[in-house]
């Protein structure tokens, strides 16, 4: 009895807590941290349903996203109460989110006007080709000097343009000045701070820098970029720093997590920026790689943007306060990492559970010459080739599902190697080790493979939720909250595990060279250009020899029937 009373006393003495909403592509989480020790006290996770209405289209329901946040808040608050932790000790909430995913809603009704178009979605490929064709020299980097980004299906501006061109509800709401645009952070903050009853329509610099409408030098929406895409600036959220009080939580009392009402939302970072902060990469040159649905390698380049010559993006890393300078990062983005595991499970049925993949791959320990390039959404960095499509090559009669499972894990590692090579070339200072985080890092075989393929150690923190931690740090350190110190001497020491390379570099280089060969094979597969004569359907008679052959055959058949009939 005395022991449990002492334990409950300990719990009550925790001091200030900070929560984080982590809204990712495949799931939503709500997590609560101790602001003094960075210890994760409790969390809850809910999967998000993705829909694929047509080939290359990826959508999510904005209302389901919001509902998943409420559910995670409710369940986490219940768990905290069971642990005898006082919810009123939560002093701030941070938001981190899947970036680029585009939502348009009606500010009067609060209703979304279409599903969220997810960052992976490819429906805008013809829009992108049209935009590139009208640039001088058909240059996909035409806007890079302002945005740090190539013109690509990946970013929000082309998704918003598609919605305006193809969804009547969106174009009508824009004409009647009722439309609001936002990435997932804006949608959640607007809803959680009151929605149609005074909700705050804002975003932070990291999320804004992924839209292609934001000038990364002036740190604001750019009128020229907006007119280039034909997007009215009135629909855009206000851009704020990554760490300041945006508004207070307003949740109806019918929701159990209504006890969070009145808590400031004071941190906002796109998920990859949040992971950079959570990994404490505050120094110029520090880098991290996150293995989620996609794979994202970010390297802090300090207060000056560095433009890449090797296919990387220049993006905002964070701005931790209104009066603080923005820090920039070079980013290598890969579309398909964890998503390949989901594909093997849901589409091919090779595995039944995600954890099964590691066992299956470990059983063979090699891909046996099989290479898998999962270019389901084209290739992102360093190629930016939307025409690429996924391939599995090097198959023999010996190949089985275990080899394909191993090749899928290797694909994640090879793609990371391509990002690291590009980053080392751009910076001139090779990385000596790689800090990693994200859901896939629980796969120990993947982590060892990654060290082998990079030929440098891979360092994984024992607390994998670095994305949520980064959002909590931004929220807790905001002016007016100030319960979390970001001074280097105050940051708690992170315990981690290190994976050292175990194969010789020659073997690693041989496998990497074969991978590069496979990548070349998947290029220029898909095109939106019409086949045949202009916009017509392909026509067999467009080939003269083939036309003669078919006509000749028809006449011979008719002649044969005629002769047979007269016998």
Q: Where are the domains of the chain?
A: 290-522
Do the Cβ atoms of 450 and 434 come closer than 8 Å?
A: yes
Do the Cβ atoms of 22 and 467 come closer than 8 Å?
A: yes
Query: Distances in Å between the alpha carbon of 230 and those of 134, 223, 227, 234?
Result: 14, 10, 5, 12
* pTM of the entire predicted model: 0.84
Residue 112 DSSP SS3: strand
Q: What pLDDT does 318 receive?
A: 96
Q: What pLDDT does 16 receive?
A: 93
Percent pLDDT > 90 in the chain is 59
Q: What pLDDT does 544 receive?
A: 42
Q: What pLDDT does 486 receive?
A: 84
Q: What pLDDT does 490 receive?
A: 64
What's the rounded Cα separation, in Å, for the pair 338 and 196?
A: 36
Write out the chain's pLDDT in tens, 567 residues: 444 443 444 445 678 999 999 999 999 999 999 988 888 999 999 999 999 999 889 999 999 999 999 999 999 999 998 999 888 899 999 999 999 999 999 999 999 999 999 998 999 988 898 888 888 888 888 999 999 999 999 999 999 999 999 999 999 999 999 999 999 999 999 999 999 999 999 999 999 999 999 999 999 999 999 999 999 999 999 999 999 999 999 976 555 666 888 999 999 999 999 999 999 889 888 889 999 888 899 999 999 999 999 989 999 999 999 999 999 999 998 888 888 888 999 898 988 877 788 888 888 888 888 999 999 888 888 888 888 899 999 999 999 989 999 999 999 999 999 999 999 998 888 888 899 998 888 889 999 999 999 999 999 988 888 999 999 999 999 999 888 988 876 666 677 889 999 988 888 898 999 999 999 999 888 765 544 444 444 443 334 444 444 445 555 555 545 555 554
Give 417's Cβ-side CA count (13 Å radius). Answer: 23
Q: What pLDDT does 253 receive?
A: 54
Neighbours of 247 (CB within 10 A): 18
Distance of CA 65 to the CA centre of its chain: 15
Q: What pLDDT does 565 receive?
A: 53
Residue in the block written with tokens 């429906």: 123
Q: What pLDDT does 5 receive?
A: 41
What's the rounded Cα separation, in Å, for the pair 173 and 175?
A: 5
Q: What pLDDT does 549 receive?
A: 47
Closest alpha carbon to 337 in 231, 444, 441:
441
- Residue 144: what are its φ and ψ, rounded to 5°? -65, -30
**Which one is the CATH code of 290-522: 3.30.420.40, 3.40.50.1000, 3.40.50.720, 3.20.20.370?**
3.30.420.40
Peptide bond into 206 cis (omega under 30): no
Give 553's Cβ-side CA count (13 Å radius). Answer: 6
């Amino acid at each position: 009895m005395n022991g449990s009373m002492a334990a409950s006393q300990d719990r009550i003495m925790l001091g200030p807590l900070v929560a984080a909403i982590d809204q990712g592509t495949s799931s939503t989480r709500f997590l609560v941290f101790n602001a003094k020790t960075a210890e994760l006290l409790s969390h809850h996770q809910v999967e998000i349903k993705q829909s694929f209405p047509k080939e290359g289209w990826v959508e999510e329901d904005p209302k389901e996203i919001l509902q998943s946040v409420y559910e995670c808040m409710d369940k986490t608050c219940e768990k905290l109460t069971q642990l005898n932790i006082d919810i009123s000790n939560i002093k701030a909430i941070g938001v981190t989110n899947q970036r680029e995913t585009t939502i348009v809603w009606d500010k009067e009704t609060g209703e979304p006007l279409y599903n969220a178009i997810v960052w992976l979605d490819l429906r805008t490929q013809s829009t992108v080709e049209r935009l590139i064709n009208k640039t001088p020299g058909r240059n996909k980097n035409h806007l890079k000097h302002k945005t740090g980004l190539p013109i690509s299906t990946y970013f929000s501006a082309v998704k918003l343009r598609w919605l305006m061109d193809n969804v009547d509800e969106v174009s009508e709401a824009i004409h009647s000045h009722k439309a609001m645009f936002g990435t997932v952070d804006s949608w959640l903050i607007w809803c959680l701070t009151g929605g149609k009853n005074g909700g705050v329509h804002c975003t932070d610099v990291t999320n804004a820098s992924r839209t292609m409408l934001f000038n990364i030098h002036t740190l604001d929406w750019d009128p020229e970029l907006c007119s280039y895409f034909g997007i009215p600036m009135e629909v855009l959220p206000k851009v704020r720093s990554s760490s300041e009080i945006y508004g207070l939580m307003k949740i109806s009392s019918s929701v159990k997590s209504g006890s969070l009402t009145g808590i400031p939302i004071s941190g906002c970072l796109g998920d990859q920026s949040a992971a950079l902060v959570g990994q404490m990469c505050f120094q110029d040159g520090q880098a991290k790689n996150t293995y989620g649905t996609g794979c994202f390698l970010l390297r802090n380049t300090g207060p000056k943007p560095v433009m890449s010559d090797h296919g990387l993006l220049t993006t905002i890393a964070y701005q931790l306060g209104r009066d603080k300078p923005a820090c920039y990062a070079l980013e290598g983005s890969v579309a398909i990492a964890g998503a390949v595991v989901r594909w093997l499970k849901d589409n091919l049925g090779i595995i039944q559970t995600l954890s099964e993949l590691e066992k299956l791959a470990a059983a063979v320990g090699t891909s046996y010459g099989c290479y898998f390039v999962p270019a389901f959404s084209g290739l992102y960095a360093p190629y930016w080739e939307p025409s690429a499509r996924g391939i599995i090559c090097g198959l023999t009669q010996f190949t089985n599902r275990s080899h394909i499972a191993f090749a899928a894990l290797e694909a994640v590692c090879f793609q990371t190697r391509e990002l690291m090579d590009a980053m080392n070339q751009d910076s001139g200072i090779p990385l000596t080790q790689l800090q990693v985080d994200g859901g896939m890092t629980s796969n120990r075989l993947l982590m060892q493979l990654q060290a082998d393929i990079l030929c440098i150690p891979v360092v994984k923190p024992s607390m994998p939720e670095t994305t949520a931690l980064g959002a909590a740090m931004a929220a807790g350190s905001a002016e007016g909250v100030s319960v979390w110190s970001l001074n280097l001497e105050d940051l708690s020491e992170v315990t981690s595990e290190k994976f050292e390379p175990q194969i010789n570099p020659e073997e690693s280089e041989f496998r990497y060279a074969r991978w590069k060969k496979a990548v070349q094979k998947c290029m220029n597969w898909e095109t939106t250009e019409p086949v045949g004569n202009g916009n017509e359907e392909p026509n067999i008679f467009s080939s003269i020899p083939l036309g003669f052959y078919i006509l000749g055959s028809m006449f011979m058949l008719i002649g044969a029937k005629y002769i047979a009939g007269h016998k």
